[in-house]
Amino acid sequence: MISISKLIRYVKTILFYLSIVIILGLYVVNRILGLILASFFFLAYFVTYLASLSSKRRLLKIIRQYPLISDTEISNLLSRSLDNIRNTLFSLAKNQKNRKWLIVFLNNRYIFLNEKTVENYKELYRMGYNEKKILEHLQRHTRIRSRAEVKAIELTLASQNRLGDH
């Protein structure tokens, strides 16, 4: 069974290629009309791109208020589909190396940590605390649940060279 989000992506892809074929066909027949239609198509594509950027910024603005929040909690908070939230978090996670916040992928779910939580973790790590001590400290201030989450945070920060010296 194919999911609805995959079906929507498939239909969008087909419509994209179909519109390119129509524009090229129209351009061969009538160049001015083809150029006008191509301009409208480009403008519509550009507007949807700007809307997706605005959506990411809005999402970040809301979730930065939480020290730690998972993708399911974000989905419930914003009343958006979990697939939509996960796709957005995935695209944000790809370009997070120079960001102060952190998105971690663990057990088929995304976890977002705001700037303060990341700095707190890095400070505890630099002080030489082990996973258990870091977990105990972070449990008092955030809703972190397990040592696996602590390890995933460490691995993500280390892979991005954001931990600094130990």
Mind giving me the DSSP string for 21-67?
HHHHHHHHH-HHHHHHHHHHHHHHHHHHHHHHHHHHHHHHHHHTTSS
70 strand-pairing partners: 111
Residue 165 confidence (pLDDT) above 70: no
pTM: 0.71
Across 60-78, average pLDDT: 91
3-state helix, strand, coil in the chain (%, to 5): 70, 10, 20
The model's pLDDT over 8-50, given as tens digits with 9 standing for 90+, comes to 778 889 998 999 999 999 999 999 999 999 999 999 888 888 8
Cα–chain-centroid distance for residue 18? 29
Looking at the DSSP bridge assignments, the partners of residue 106 are 109
